[in-house]
Amino acid sequence: MRVLIAPDSFGDTLTAVEAADAIAAGWARARPDDELVAAPRSDGGPGFVDVLAVHGGLVHEVVPAGPLDDAVTARWLLDGDVAYVESAQACGLHLLRADPGTALAAHSAGVGHLVAAAVDAGAGTVVVGLGGSGCTDGGRGLVAALGGTPDAAGLAAAGARLAGVRLVAATDVENPLLGPRGAAVVFGPQKGADADAVTELERRNAEWADVLDEWCGAPVSTGAGAGAAGGLGAALLALGAERRSGADVVADVTGQDTLLRGAGVVLTGEGRFDHQSLGGKVAVALARAARAVPVPVVVLAGQVALDGDDPDLRGLGLSGLRSVADHAGSVQLAIDDAATQLAGLAEEVARSWRS
Strand partners, 257: none
Strand partners, 323: 301
CB 179 within 8 A of CB 221: no
Classify domain 2-40+255-352 by CATH number.
Answer: 3.40.50.10350
Topology match between the domains 2-40+255-352 and 48-247: no
Cα torsion 42, 272, 205, 109: sign: negative
Under 8 Å CB-to-CB from 27, ≥6 apart: which residues?
A: 3, 5, 34, 36, 267, 346, 347, 349, 350
For residue 86, give the H/E element and its range. Answer: strand 82-86
Identify the CA nearest to 259 among candidates 55, 16, 76, 48: 55
Under 8 Å CB-to-CB from 309, ≥6 apart: which residues?
A: none
Q: Is 285 helix (H, G, I), strand (E, B) or coil?
A: helix
Q: Could you report the per-residue pLDDT of 227-272, keeping only the tens digit for each?
A: 999 999 999 999 999 999 999 999 999 999 999 998 999 999 999 9
Q: Could you report the per-residue pLDDT of 145-183, keeping only the tens digit for each?
A: 999 999 999 999 999 999 999 999 999 889 999 999 999
Homologous superfamily of 48-247: Glycerate kinase, domain 2 (3.90.1510.10)
- Give, as one character, the DSSP assignment of residue 322: E
Pairing of strands 74-79, 82-86: antiparallel
CA angle 73, 75, 78 (to 5 degrees): 155
How many CA atoms lie less than 13 Å away from 169 in the CB half-sphere? 27
Q: Could you report the per-residue pLDDT of 80-133, keeping only the tens digit for each?
A: 999 999 999 999 999 998 899 999 999 999 999 999 999 999 999 999 999 999
Evaluate if residue 134 carries a pLDDT over 90.
Answer: yes
For residue 92, give the H/E element and its range. Answer: none
Q: How far is CA 289 from CA 18, 248, 346, in A?
A: 23, 10, 22
Q: Could you report the per-residue pLDDT of 42-95, keeping only the tens digit for each?
A: 999 999 999 999 889 999 999 999 999 999 999 999 999 999 999 999 999 999
Evaluate if residue 354 carries a pLDDT over 90.
Answer: no
> Can you tell me the distance from the alpha carbon of 70 to that of 246, in angstroms, rounded to the nearest whole number?
28
> Can you tell me the distance from the alpha carbon of 20 to that of 100, in angstroms, rounded to the nearest whole number?
35
Domain residue extents for the chain: 2-40+255-352, 48-247
